[in-house]
Structure 1
Amino acid sequence: MLDANSTGSVPLATQIPLTFLMSGLAFAIMLGNAVVILAFVVDKNLRLRSNYYFLNLAISDFFVGMISIPLYIPHTLFDWNFGSGLCIFWLITDYLLCTASVYNIVLISYDRYQSVLNAVS
């Protein structure tokens, strides 16, 4: 019988395409957020107060694609058990980065709300 938290064994015919799909997703996340970071660094006109929230969101999402997702793939698909230290590192960074992304989205929403509320007529 499977545990409540176990996903069971995934057939090899399914593991290979899922591995490539998830790796491609992680690469697309890193590439897209790297372009946002690069645009912010190169174009000085983008350096407005409200755009720093987008930069912060891009940085946190870049690290989600670089750290969290690549460690999640072998853990989920291949039942790879991390060592204690790597598991703790992965959990801490995953929770920290995902929480940072959510807080950044909240801050961006609040900033947009304030800009509409206090718009110059």
Structure 2
Amino acid sequence: LVDVPEKVDLVGIGRPTRFHELFRPAGANVNFIKILDPHRIQIRTYERGVEGETLACGTGSIASALIASLLAKVESPVTLIPQSGLELTVYFTSRGSSFTDVYLQGDARAVSQGRILPDAWQ
């Protein structure tokens, strides 16, 4: 949880946390969230594999919503506002520390495209 997501040193904190020994060997995404109200969260994500900030992260959004629920900060549905500004909504049923019926809703957009040339298959 952070007070001002825009001021977080995303790479300075995200990179060492992503590679922390607790998360070896695969590593982890690192999410920084601010609870705006019981149904809204602002989120920034340092994503493994990308090794930097991404515009949105579905798994990070779900994890953040569920953790915030465990901390009694939010309740379903939770709308997350990532760097892209395109809202994602997480729906879930909670029973104590267990969750069922977890769903993510949001836009899916192509942000780039490419071609694999025939010689790449050899």
TM-score by length of 2: 0.28
More strand by share: 2
The structure with the larger Rg is: 1
* Greater RCO (CA < 8 Å, at least 6 residues apart): 1
More helix by percentage: 1
Under a length normalisation based on structure 1, what TM-score does the superposition of the two structures give?
Answer: 0.28
